[in-house]
Structures are given as structure tokens and as C-alpha cells.
Structure 1
């Protein structure tokens, strides 16, 4: 029997990670002054909202220091938890699990999600016999990482499709780099491929694929991931955190209120000017932020959904964590509905 594997470390390993993180200290400026430089990881061929905020002049004196590119959301927030970076983002379910293990992190603003224009789809070849969740028993589904957004969505689809825990355990999630997913699907090495963004659009342009389901089919439009910082960094640098979150939120709102053409042009200019030797084609396929709340304001339900999922999976104990433990909108100027 082939079982679904988990990318997030088991609870014991996460607890060890949290313990090691607790040994670190948040950076501060000379003489105890607040730091005004934030270390972060970027993404190849993409523009983060922090980078957009800096380009738009929204960070009010806060400087960003790029230290490299992240490999996944769980890796990004683990880097924050261990003090290697000051800010990072991941799927909200990954944040729940890391915080439940004792990692001293808090979500501050939403940064990605799914809507009618930007979503993750789960595709099969046009001649595939797979039509329902039950048809996936014994099959392979390609995902970019385990223990995050796609695993949660797929397992929710299987559960809603009537599969038992034992039957769900017979569905195999296989980690495949997103750029290789389409080819693996067409060659029959995968039965289902997870596709989003430019990779989805290009694959569908080539034809021969059909959708099985999408994340928005299950949850509707929703913010799926949030940006986090360490608790001690927030406590030592509240002014910097407020400036950063304010600028970040304004950048999210900027994409929500400007045309697609304006956003794409800005992103292309940023990529061309930062000198990382990367291809900017992906941003030309940008359609929307996918963020549900204006300016990335976080709603309790965006965490409760995944708390409930993790409880059902046995990864959390009842009462171990609640939404109020995980996030705050304190620093987001859109939380009161004004954006001022």
C-alpha cells in the first residue's frame, strides 16, 4: 500500500526546530534602536509584494535585503522561525502546524490565494478514465511540495468524494518540480498533475488535458497563505513591523485596484532592473493577486479551515491552537476598512 507522505517535519522535529529558534535573538539596531533592514527570500521570475512595495515607495524607510530564493513556503517560514530571515510566507496550514509545534511566529498579512482568475487546478489527460475522487485510489498525483496547500486541497477533495482514511492512504502524492509536471503527466508518469499560473496556461494552450477539480471548487475564493515574522522581532521592532506591513498591504491593494496591464508592466520593470539573471516571462501571465481581503487583511476562517483539517488528520490536538494565536491584523491599515 502506498501512502501519502508529508513534507512538513513530524511534530517532534518541528518541536526541536522551535526550541532551536528560541535560542536566537531578533536583530535590533545600534543601542537598542529598531532595525530598519529586513532579510527575506524571493522567488525566481516573480515579484513579491514586499518587492513591489519597495518599488512603489511604500516602505517608509524600511530596507529589504534579499538573501536568495526560497524553495517552498514551509522552508520560507522555517527560515523565519530559526532566525535566518526576518520575514517569510507560507500556506496557512503550514503556519498552523509550525506554530502548534512551538515556533514563535505570527502571521501579519495575507499574500496569496485563489479566485476565479488565479487558482490551482488538478488535471488529467483528455483520455484519462479518472472522473471522480474514487478513481484516484492507487493513482499518483504530482505536487510541488508536501505538507502544504496542495496536499490539504487534494485530501479535502478525496474526503468530500466519500473516501475512507484507508482509501485516501492509497493515493500517492509525488513531489515533482512544477516545470516538469506537465511533461510527467503527458508521459504517463503521473495520473494527475497540479498546475497553476503560467504553467497551467501554457499546458492548456497545448491541449490534450482536462480539469478534474480546482481548489476554488472546494473553498471558493480564499486567501491561502500569510506572511509571518518572529514574535521577538515584532516585540523589539514594532515601528518597523508597522511600516513594513503597511507598505506590503498597500502593495496588495495596488494590484487589487490597478489593471492587469499596469501590474504586469511594473513587474517586468522590477525584474529587468534587479539584475538576478532571470526570465521575466512568468509575470506576463499574471491575472490577479488571488488575495481575498482588501490589502491582505486576514480573516479567522482562513486559519480555522486548516485547523479543522489538521485536527481531522490527527496532526493537532483539540484546543492546541486557535486562530487568535496565529495572526494579527494590528499592523494592517486596511483592518478598519479604511486603508488610511
Structure 2
């Protein structure tokens, strides 16, 4: 059961991270169509198949190319937040790609839907949401990890101290606030409840309430819900105010792990492969820059980017940035970051077992930390990283 609490929106946050100019040479020139053509046709309800065909039919398959050969990639950002592609552009890591901001988005499912319909050229979301989208027949491929959990940065679910909610069974018949449905918070919560021994029927009695992340703490403290998911700066500021009990964290279940990917449509990759390759190498180097630079330097760069783009955003939240949260150098995708959620969706009855071939859902072909351009322990320009 789900419903939505409508609250006033305020600036939200997403933790992402900023080279010197110059293009990373590729050791190979891979053919995107080779891997992407392996995607199997899925057995879908007629209405779902018609919807996917309609969406992809009206989507643009080629990006805008300027007279100087620069490819313009449209994207949605997040208020008061710097994404790794934005960081890459600021650092000068793109040679043939330019980003065009077309607005902000509050959730991953909406981001990848915009990419599928052609409103944007790429999107990003939780890997489980991407797998669910792929199961409908949408041709999309993950190209780089953009967020995860590590020992410094991870989300948790919280209840109020003294509320009587201290464990999984206490949530039966209660309300839990999540940022959106069909994404990471819902999936992780349901997985934890199952790990704690709740039956499918008992899990279904936990009512999910959609709340904008920036309002989650307020809604919890007002007693409108019994637990909420908090992460990043919103978690840090809530803990500073006290009075919360942690129920569990995503790292408690999976340890250090990559949770979400940036995706492109398969037809877009096939027609704009050089642009996608440049985008991925630049974004990977930006992630590596943030992984290997002192946190205060990353925070200073974020403040500079937010101020220079002049969108009226606060920079007050940047001080809470601790780490990229990405466990692999440069955001290289690991297969279990995808397969875990495919298996979960199959077990939960949301997709047909065997309908998705995990290797067809992602590629590391363009990532310099996976394709042999840079060693896994190298810095953003291939230099040796020293501790």
C-alpha cells in the first residue's frame, strides 16, 4: 500500500563530485552495437509493449552537434548538488562533449524515464529501477556507477526515540517514508524486512509514503510517519538535532557497494558512440579526482561550481560532503551491482525469471579504469596515486 504526503519542496541534495584538459586515449574502438544487439526480446503484456514502442519511437536517437564538432548532451540535475558529469566539465575532462542543463529532477525513475522518452540524452537511477525499466523492453545500458555506500557515506532508516519502533516487526501496519516508489529505498527496505524474517504478507502491511527527501525529517518528527530513509546531508543534519533511533543502514546489508548507474539509450549509443565514450571517460576521471583529492578540495570545487552556474542555489550543504560513496576506481560497474537487484526483482515476482541477461544491462567498455587505459589505482590522468 502506498500514498503520498504533499509537502512544500525545498532544495534537495545528492552527493556527487570535479582535470586538467585533454582527452583520455582509448586503447580500443569498441562497437556499441555488438554488445547491445544481444538484448533479448521480452514477453510483455500488449499494453506494456505498445507503451515502450511509443516512447522509443518518439525519442531522439542523435544528439545535437555544433559546427565545431562538439556534441551537446542534455541532462537533468539536482538542486544544490554537483553531479560527476558537471564536475568533469568544470575540470576540463571532456574534449568533444558539452552539457546542457534542462532542469532538475527529484528521483531516479523520473530521470531514466526522461532519457527513454528523449527529453534528455542520459539519466541516472538506482540499478534495480534500471533493471525494472529494461524488463519492459526499453533498450538502455548502464555505463558508469555514480553513487553507492562506503564507510563514510551511506543511508539509514530511522524512527523516533521512544516511539516503540526499534526493529522490523515494529513496522508491520506502520508508515515508512521513502523518496519515490520503485527505487532504492523501497527495495532495500523490503529486502531488510525479509532478512528479518517477515513474510510477504507482513511486508505488504508496511505502508510506504512518498515524501520529498528534504521533508522526511520534519514529517517523521511530526508523527505523520513512523520511520523514514535519510542519507547524505539530510541525515547528518537530522542526527545533529538528535532524538532518532537507527533501524538499519544499507551498508549493514551489503557493505561497500555501488547502487546506481548513469544510462544511455541503446540507439543513442549506436549513433553517438564517440560522444558517449568521451562522456564516460571524463566522468570516470572526475569520480577518480574526487576519490583521490582531499575532501576540503572537493568541497571548495563544489562551492565554486554552484556559485558560477548562478541558479540561486545554497552552498551551505556542501560542507557535509565526506566521500564519493563509490567503491570502485572511476565508477567501474561490477556485475553483482546489477545482478543482485535482478535476482531480487525475480524473487519478488516483479519480473519474469530469466527474462534479463545481466551482462547485456551494462558496459565498462568506455571507462579508462576498466578498458586498460589507466591502472585501477591510477589518478584522473593516469598518474600513480600515492597515499
Q: TM-score range by the shorter chain?
A: over 0.9
Query: The residue matched to 1:320 in structure 2 has which SS?
Result: coil
Q: Indicate how the Cα distance of structure 1 residues 333 and 207 shifts in structure 2: closer, same or farther if over 3 A, else same.
A: same
Q: CA deviation at 1:312?
A: 1.2
Distance 1:16 1:198, change over 3 A: farther
Residue 34 of structure 1: how far off its partner (Å): 7.2
Farther-moved stretch of structure 1 (12-21 vs 101-110): 12-21
Correspondence for 2:62 = 27
Summarize the alignment of residues 131-146 of structure 1 with structure 2, pairs less than 5 Å apart: 131-146=166-181
Deviations 1:130-155 (A, max 9, x none): 22211110011111111000001100
Q: Please tell me whether residue 183 in structure 1 is matched to residue 218 in structure 2.
A: yes
**Which deviations, in whole Å up to 9, do the C-alpha atoms of 1:171-216 show, x marking residues without a partner?**
0110111121111111211110111111111111111112111111
**Pairs aligned (count):** 335
CA distance in 2, matches of 1:29, 1:201: 40
Matched position secondary structure for 1:331: coil
Structure 2 runs not aligned, ≥5 long: 5-43, 383-387
Matched, 1:278 2:295: no
Of 161, 165, 168, 1:126 maps to 161
Q: Which structure 1 residue ranges, 5 or more long, are not aligned?
A: none
- Residue 207 of structure 2 corresponds to residue 172 of structure 1: yes
Inter-CA distance 44–307: structure 2 relative to 1 (3 Å threshold):
same
Query: Which of the residues 145, 149, 161 maps onto 1:114?
Result: 149
Q: Report what 1:325 is aligned to.
A: 360
Tell me, yes or no, if structure 1 residue 56 matches structure 2 residue 56.
no
Give the secondary structure class of the aligned counterpart of 2:302: helix
- Aligned partner of 2:292 in structure 1 is 257
Q: CA deviation at 1:61?
A: 2.9
Q: Which digits, 9 at most, give the CA deviation of each residue in 1:92-135, with x for residues without a partner?
A: 00100101101111100000111111111101111121222111
Please give the alpha-carbon distance, in whole angstroms, between the structure 1 residues aligned to 2:45 and 2:301: 41
Distance in 2, Cα, partners of 1:4 & 1:79 = 23
Q: For residue 18 of structure 1, what is the aligned residue in structure 2?
A: 52
Q: Per the alignment, in what secondary structure is the counterpart of residue 102 of structure 2?
A: strand
CA distance in structure 2 between the aligned counterparts of 1:209 and 1:30, rounded to whole angstroms: 51
Matched residue of 1:145: which SS? coil
TM-aligned CA distance change 1:16 to 1:115, over 3 Å? farther
Match of 1:276, SS state, is coil
1:178-327 matched pairs, under 5 angstroms:
178-327=213-362
For residues 278-302 of structure 1, give each alpha carbon's deviation from its aligned partner in whole angstroms, at most 9, with x where no partner exists. Answer: 1122222111111111100001100
Change (3 A) 1:12 1:46: farther
| Alignment partners' CA distance in 2, 1:11 and 1:83 | 23
In 1, Cα distance between equivalents of 2:46 and 2:211: 26
Do the aligned partners of residues 267 and 16 (structure 1) sit closer, same or farther apart at CA in structure 2, a change above 3 Å counting?
A: farther
Note the 1:41-80 alignment, pairs <5 A.
Answer: 41-80=76-115
Q: Which residue of 2 aligns with 1:101?
A: 136
> TM-score with structure 2 length normalisation?
0.83
Structure with greater helix percent: 1
Aligned Cα RMSD in Å? Answer: 2.1
CA contact (8 A) 2:148 2:325 kept: yes
Q: What's the offset of the Cα at 1:276?
A: 0.6
Q: Once structures 1 and 2 are overlaid, which stretch shifts more, 262-271 or 232-241? A: 232-241
Change in CA separation of 1:317 and 1:45 when aligned onto 2, cut-off 3 Å: same
- Report SS of the residue matched to 1:108: strand
CA contact (8 A) 1:34 1:239 kept: no
